[in-house]
Structure 1
């Protein structure tokens, strides 16, 4: 039997990203997020219009998408209620967020220089994608009073440093899906992946044909 429901959020499940952006003073802001989807070499990011991350992205057009593994739960949770904005929204104030200027130091993550963008990468992240903003789409434009409160930002991935131990042996541009253990966000909870159930029929297509 099915029952009609009206959940407040639709977080059915997606990978967690810690996004690095550059603050006006030159420091790097970190923010965990999971409203993302991928197509080719592009990623769509769903962000609140008033967040520090969004302000930084719209100003600099640059970011790093750091993908944490399932061993980095404590780091993601530590970042979860931090904000890079001193003038917090009423929602974040009520939810118990606190302003933190140097999130790398407080969370004990290691910054490392990027090559094609200005924000720092996170050394501990197995995958670090340097990217630039290609387009910005205002969402909720059909809902009076909520127009533009959320944005869909299309970013173009420029460069992807990845740990060697998650790559396919002999195929340096291919990730070994059995070795890559992303951290997943499902309805406000963090999960890892179970073992592979079976190969997808799509695996019969050479991955390079999608390039």
Structure 2
């Protein structure tokens, strides 16, 4: 049996798939927010967001989004968005880490817009899996200051044909998501790079 040791990390985070969350701005343009706190059960998904970001503001107003799941080969494009915010005035806590305001994140990351079939937010064409969703519930727990828990329901799911098997399923031998684990990007069992974010 392996020996264990009690640890006390600054934050409990053991890694999750990266999501490029697209939401609709007030002027109808689409914002992209890289997140890595999400999980799914059936056609419902739960995401965690900071309450000072543009994505949270947009979700409260519009109630819809697209969860774009990038593959490992997109990690450098995801990283280009790491220090970007869609807010015109950068929140002070983000400014302290060197964040900058960026209106066109598609251009910044070198990603392609794709019109969604149900929601107004655009999807990201390069992402092999795109989940259009509508907000069902938003909570801001008292015990987690500055964090919101958002429950959404998938209303349309799109996948690149190259990763589909038996017409309705994702083939895990042909595709796996980009994983963000302790500030490092991983995919297909190997480390791809580290974030420059503090």
Gaps of 5+ in 1: 196-211
Deviation at 1:3, TM superposition (A): 2.4
- 5 Å-filtered alignment, 1:133-172, equals 133-139=135-141, 141-142=142-143, 146=145, 149-168=146-165, 171-172=166-167
Q: In structure 2, which of residues 163, 174, 181 is the aligned counterpart of residue 179 of structure 1?
A: 174
For 2:147 and 2:143, how far apart are their aligned partners in 1?
A: 12
3-state SS of 2:159 partner: coil
Gaps of 5+ in 2: 191-198
The CA deviation string for residues 124-152 of structure 1, in whole angstroms up to 9 with x for no partner, is: 1111110000111212x136xx3xx2111
Deviation at 1:8, TM superposition (A): 1.5
The CA deviation string for residues 155-208 of structure 1, in whole angstroms up to 9 with x for no partner, is: 00011110111111xx1111111111210011111101339xxxxxxxxxxxxx
Max radius of gyration: which structure?
1
Contact conserved, 1:9 with 1:187, CA < 8 A, in 2?
A: no
| TM-score, normalization by structure 2 | 0.91
For 2:140 and 2:108, how far apart are their aligned partners in 1?
A: 33
For 1:19 and 1:136, how far apart are their aligned partners in 2?
A: 16
Greater strand share, 1 or 2? 2
Compute the RMSD of aligned alpha carbons.
1.3
Deviation at 1:61, TM superposition (A): 0.3
3-state SS of 1:88 partner: coil
3-state SS of 1:157 partner: strand
Q: What is the match of residue 194 of structure 2? A: none
Number of equivalenced pairs: 188
Q: What is the match of residue 5 of structure 2? A: 3
3-state SS of 1:152 partner: strand
The CA deviation string for residues 5-42 of structure 1, in whole angstroms up to 9 with x for no partner, is: 22112220110000000000111000110011111111
For 2:143 and 2:179, how far apart are their aligned partners in 1?
A: 30
Deviation at 1:107, TM superposition (A): 1.7
- 5 Å-filtered alignment, 1:34-45, equals 34-45=36-47
The CA deviation string for residues 92-128 of structure 1, in whole angstroms up to 9 with x for no partner, is: 1011111000111122111011110001111111111
| TM-score, normalization by structure 1 | 0.86
For 1:93 and 1:194, how far apart are their aligned partners in 2?
A: 34
